[in-house]
Homo-oligomer: A and B are copies of this chain.
Amino acid sequence: MTDTAKPRIEEVARVAGVSKSTVSRVINGEQYVSARARNAVHEAIAQLGYSPNQAARSLAGNRANAIALVVSEQGSRVLSDPFFASVLRGVHAELTGRRIQLLLMMSQPADNIDLVAYLSGGHVDGALLVSLHGADPLVAMLTGIRLPVVACGRPLGGSVPFVDADNFNGGLEAGRHLVSLGRRRVATIAGPRDMAVGMDRLSGWRRAMSEARLADDLVQEADFTPESGARAMASLLEREPELDAVFVAADIMALGALQVLHARGLRVPSDVAIVGFDDSVLASTATPPLTTVRQDVEQLGRTMTWRLLAELAGEPDLPPSLLLPTSLVHRASA
């Protein structure tokens, strides 16, 4: 009954009684095709169950119809992060409907050269950069080959278009909230110095402290793991046993901090109030549930993708970078 071989454009053309060119025009939604022809083609496509061969399209059309999601993973930690999962979901959401494939690529610093060679090989039309650290040489290499690129989060080095949450404002709100609770000895567990996320949230917190004329010296750096969060908390407590609030720049680090506080018999929030960042699933399941700065990570993924596709489509006057709003989610921990 059904043909075993998958139909080609030629076949569709024959069935529709038009030429290959016309079928191609219909598929690509070009103008100058009569309604009659268009319908005939659509019917033929449906009848044959035709689906165009991507490889041929890319080859002939001189574009890949694919974008890469480049995960710059130091220690491959990134992927375990729910953050990444949400970005991915957003990216995918924005991509559905358009015939664009998502290629997943991970870069170890070691094979950056291979990566760049591949990306410059015309295999993808653009790239989304996730989890850049410091002045990642990748950024420079990529801008060098003039491949359209959008970064997830403000990169510290280079100047690529990026989309990010309004981290400064998030830190500011977190700090203000803790202050409004009457806390006077407020600490922060910041992100690593080599990532803008960390620095921006820290700046926001600092601003809040200075607004309230409080000291902003209780800063401890950590690296977005629960363990580092625990260590940072311990060291803060050592420096200032009397601290009564902490802004932790990521929920996942807040978990570690919580453990340490529990272990020392300090109660949250009565002894120490905690505000996290991300509003990940971790925040709502923690004990106690974390008050945290919500960022819409899925929206972040969507916006990045939108920005990249817009650039690919040649839209003029695109903003180089975009900041997404954050908001404080009130739960039990502060």
Q: How far is the CB of A81 from chain B (nearest CB, A)?
A: 7
Q: Which of A31-59 contact B (CB under 8 A)?
A: 49, 51-56, 58-59
What's the Cα separation between A137 and B258 when bound, in Å? 44
**A contact face: mostly helix, strand, loop, or mixed:** helix
Q: Which of A94-137 contact B (CB under 8 A)?
A: 96, 101-104, 106, 117-118, 120-123
| Interface residue A226 (Cβ < 8 Å from any Cβ of B) | yes
| Interface residue A233 (Cβ < 8 Å from any Cβ of B) | no
| Interface residue A285 (Cβ < 8 Å from any Cβ of B) | yes
What's the Cα separation between A123 and B79 when bound, in Å? 26
Which of B55, B103, B255 interacts with A55 by CB under 8 Å?
Answer: B55
Cβ-defined contact, A59 with B55, below 8 A: yes
Known: A85-B79, A86-B79, A226-B285. A53 touches B59 (CB 8 A): yes
Contacts of A86 in B (CB 8 A): 79-80
What's the Cα separation between A121 and B281 when bound, in Å? 38
Residue of B nearest to A121 (CB): B51
Which of B53, B89, B92 interacts with A122 by CB under 8 Å?
Answer: B53
| Interface residue A143 (Cβ < 8 Å from any Cβ of B) | no
What's the Cα separation between A25 and B282 when bound, in Å? 52
Cβ-defined contact, A89 with B82, below 8 A: no
Q: How far is the CB of A122 from chain B (nearest CB, A)?
A: 6
Per-position binary interface string of chain A over residues 76-92, scored 1 when its CB falls under 8 Å from any chain B CB and 0 otherwise: 10011110111011001
Cβ-defined contact, B256 with A285, below 8 A: yes
Known: A85-B81, A262-B287. A121 touches B59 (CB 8 A): no
Cβ-defined contact, B104 with A88, below 8 A: yes
Which of B54, B58, B101, B281 interacts with A226 by CB under 8 Å?
Answer: B281
Cβ-defined contact, B6 with A281, below 8 A: no
Residue of B nearest to A255 (CB): B285
Max count, chain B CB within 10 A of own CB: residue among A53, A55, A58, A118: A55
In addition to A52-B121, A55-B59, 20 A-B residue pairs with Cβ atoms within 8 Å of each other are A51-B117, A51-B121, A54-B58, A55-B56, A55-B123, A56-B59, A69-B104, A79-B86, A80-B89, A92-B106, A96-B106, A102-B103, A102-B104, A104-B104, A226-B281, A226-B285, A255-B285, A256-B285, A262-B287, A287-B287
